[in-house]
Amino acid sequence: MNLDELTRSSGEWLRGTGPESDIVMCSRIRLARNLAEFPFTNRASRTEKSEIESSIRSAMQRANLELVYFDVNALPPLDRQFLVERQLISRELAAGEGPRGVAVGPLENIAIMVNEEDHLRIQVMLSGMALHDVWERINRLDDQLEEHLAYAFSTQLGYLTACPTNVGTGIRVGVMLHLPALAQTKQMEKVFRALQKINLAVRGLYGEGTQAFGDFYQISNQQTLGKSEPELIRILTDVVPQVIQYERTARQALMNEKRQHLHDQVSRAYGVLKTAHTISSEETMLLLSSVRLGINLGLIDDLEIATINELFIQTQPAYLQKIQGSELGVEERNVARASYLRSRLSNGRHVEPD
């Protein structure tokens, strides 16, 4: 696998085949780990970062993990941004300095970042509402690595991390939800407040500090100390179904009360995406969100959810430049994006609602 091959494939989490996948794009768990014999990344010298990277790569090889390693430090900025868009690395790792990298699984459902904020950031993602399956996989992966690495661990505090908010379990449990109906009915602020009261964070498509492009929201735990991993997972598995139900109720209300308006909105969005000759990333995300909603409500036929899921990623700036084979300015990207959309959506067909 190389970066060019990634442009011809899509991650398992985009396939739209998991439970509740009409609303839950994916489930994700990340574990923060550090090696006991080295200072945290922000205090480590370049030589120490190199030794950390070497130790982790050796451990992955000895554990016989089927992963491909990318040396992020050696990648040009465009390739780093491409990996961010694929949800395989964080913006922090892309913008970092010195020895660092990421190991990626063949289905892109595993990504292990090296020398981000912590020495190790282990990530597993699966399509739909599948937190228990994700936990089983990442727990097993963590155990395989720990057989060959000495983690920084305190019997009193748990796993030690660079950021105090991650101390303890070092776990971030999250789901990415598509909530266009709650956004349209202006109920998201109420949902935000309710989630914050129980120490759950709401972020945008690309994590902390990002906006909710395309009506996608990531809900994750803020607390890592004082509760076990299963307890933290249970909080989300109890709460997320309620958010899903709120979204379903809002969708049904839109269909009952504003059916013609909704159908017109979906039709216009689909039409623009299929015919535009220049289109921005922001407008694309907004229109794709409407089309995704339309598919799930039966307003569009012969267009797979997986195709729309992929387009959320494949119409991002770095992807477009990768497939074009050159760097593009903003206007050139807008033209390339429109051309790509016309090609991918040319076979879709509308179905009138009953």
Three-class SS of the chain: CCHHHHCCCCCHHHCCCCCCCCCEEEEEEEEEECECCCCCHHHCCHHHHHHHHHHHHHHHHHCCCCCEEEEHHHCCHHHHHHHHHCCCCCHHHHHCCCCCEEEECCCCCEEEEECCCCCEEEEEEEECCCHHHHHHHHHHHHHHHHCCCCECEECCCEECCCCHHHCECCEEEEEEEECHHHHHCCCHHHHHHHHHHCCEEEEECCECCCCCHHHEEEEEECCCCCCCHHHHHHHHHHHHHHHHHHHHHHHHHHHHHCHHHHHHHHHHHHHHHHHCCCCCHHHHHHHHHHHHHHHHCCCEECCCHHHHHHHHHHCCHHHHHHHHCCCCCHHHHHHHHHHHHHHHHCCCEECCCC
For 327, other C-beta atoms within 10 Å of its C-beta total 13
The domain spans of the chain are: 3-252, 258-350
Residue 1 has a pLDDT of 65
Residue 211 has a pLDDT of 52
Q: CA–CA separation, 116 vs 126, rounded Å?
A: 22
How is residue 47 written in tokens? 């030589």
| Sign, Cα dihedral of 81, 82, 83, 87 | positive
Residue 350 has a pLDDT of 40
Spans in the chain with pLDDT lower than 70:
1, 205-212, 347-354
pTM for this entry:
0.91
CATH code for residues 3-252: 3.30.590.10
Residue 103 has a pLDDT of 98
Residue 206 has a pLDDT of 54
Residue 347 has a pLDDT of 60
Residue 5 has a pLDDT of 84
